[in-house]
Amino acid sequence: MEKMIALTIDGVSVEVPSGTTVLEAARKAGVHIPTLCYLKDINAIGACRMCVVDTGARALQAACVLPATDGMVVKTNTPAIRKYRKTLLELVLSAHDKKCLTCVRSQNCELQRLCRELGVEDGEAFAGVTNKYAIDDVSPSIVRDNNKCILCRRCVAACASVQKVGVIGPVMRGFKTAIESPWGLKLNDMACINCGQCITACPVGALHEKDDTAKVWAALADPTKHVVVQPAPAVRAALGEEFGLPMGTSVTGKMASALRRLGFDKVFDTDFAADLTIVEEANELVERVQNGGVLPMITSCSPGWIKFCETYYPDFIPNLSSCKSPHEMLGAMAKSYYAKKAGIDPKDIVVVSVMPCTAKKFEAARPELGHDGMADVDIVITTRELARMIKEAGINFNALPDGEFDSLMGESTGAGVIFGATGGVMEAALRTAYETLTGKPLEPVDFKPVRGTEGIKEATVKIGDLDVSVAVCSSTGKAAEVLDAVRAGEKKYTFIEVMACPGGCVNGGGQPIVDSDTRAAVDVRAVRASALYKEDAAKALRRSHVNPEIQALYADYLDKPGSHLAHELLHTHYTRREKYTD
């Protein structure tokens, strides 16, 4: 039985398991202790000292790394502690680029909020010499601005400990300390997988996505261009947060209306292409199983994961599904199938993807993802960038009526919707693979063993006479654990789903920023995923291959899954990459 201890925090008695930190105990007691470098399950190093408390010891101690003890009496809000925290903030600001009005994180910055709460007014108490850094904006996905960095190391922990990539870390010492890549290289020259988890971990504006909204505005203003837009499944589960709606609110209809109000010529849905991906991917899996192909087959929807595999596990490249990711498939169809139907020159079509993912920006520029000299997707913006465009256009998002997607590539099933959650691709593929292999209808369609936010999930699924062993990984760190086990012969699977981001796309690097206090109290991944599962459950059609628009696409254009034309437009190949370039 777990040993319990009792302590008092600001006069509030609380009982917690032995091994609990004072910060965790305070939260259980309903006592707020401010933090800056702390990020639940990712970074607890006591570096910023914002969470200091008085336990009667000779010095104030950091609550995030201080174990609670039985009978401990803790004070969190004495005049001395408040003065200490305010001084710390003033010291941080003395080396900080305080251009808050033009910062992408203004009004959603943890440093800004703490300064407001603790009464720090101008940040000039310790004004003096500051370090000046060149902005690293070479990457197609991520911008690093060390002039705003507060050295909290949350990004370092996310990159190294969660993703097992580790392309940034502290260099130099003392006043010259900075978060950099080795040898002074740019992120683009490192084995960065462009996942953006460093961005979501950053409490300030030192890391943010490459802003491509100007390109979208320019395309919309160009009368010679026919601009098509497609939002990913996970976008609808989080976009509402940017407009004050509760986390977990699905805003599919309002999102479609907002995109139309922005002036896009056609509003298609990446969910349609998720269904298309499943039909092609399930067909590929069945072919591999029946014809002795390379197993386990591994999903290819997450570009951060693909780049991680190409760089760190290139021996698994033959295991990757050859399917393009959903938004790339829709881009290919927009510039072939739709262009033919609409009588538009494909070169005049601009495809804009709204993604929860910063790695999609890198993916869209891959030379393998295009045809006839055209990229499948021209511009990628994140959920955050779309929100900024809606606000810039003066659209009252919450007052919008629910709109619809355009036909031809706007219909989707529940299987397409759940792509945004970890396990969703696996579940959607199994729904279609089951009926493909058995020829029988699947009832019920839910594969609940692959749901949930655990980093690794395993299951054995009975499909006819075949036992299909599957694994689901979310975060490249967890993917590495699974691949190491497969490589060592310790595990044997038929099918593996990998999402680069913990929890899947709902927690992608381009989603709305969630502060550390909220992340400590709420499982963001589960709450956002619940919106997708609710949409799935409410859909009349829940298996990708029964989508009437998918059936029409094959009947009118592609012929059948895995056809020559399908391979030409919907499949690709991958490339071994070096860990860094010199």
Give catalytic residues, as residue numbers: 281, 284, 301, 321, 360, 363, 368, 505
C-alpha span between 157 and 161 (Å, rounded):
5
DSSP state of 337: I
C-alpha span between 395 and 78 (Å, rounded):
45
* Tokens describing residue 206: 């030192």
C-alpha span between 63 and 51 (Å, rounded):
5
Query: Which residues 6+ apart lie within 8 Å of 184 measured at CB?
Result: none
What three-state secondary structure class fits 475? coil
Query: Which residues 6+ apart lie within 8 Å of 302 measured at CB?
Result: 325, 357, 359, 498, 499, 500, 501, 505
C-alpha span between 375 and 86 (Å, rounded):
51
Burial of 7: CB neighbours in 10 Å, binned 0-12, 13-18, 19+: buried
Burial of 244: CB neighbours in 10 Å, binned 0-12, 13-18, 19+: exposed
Burial of 209: CB neighbours in 10 Å, binned 0-12, 13-18, 19+: buried
C-alpha span between 384 and 381 (Å, rounded):
8
Backbone angles phi, psi at 16, to 5 degrees: -140, 160
What three-state secondary structure class fits 137? coil
Helix (H) / strand (E) containing 215: helix 213-221
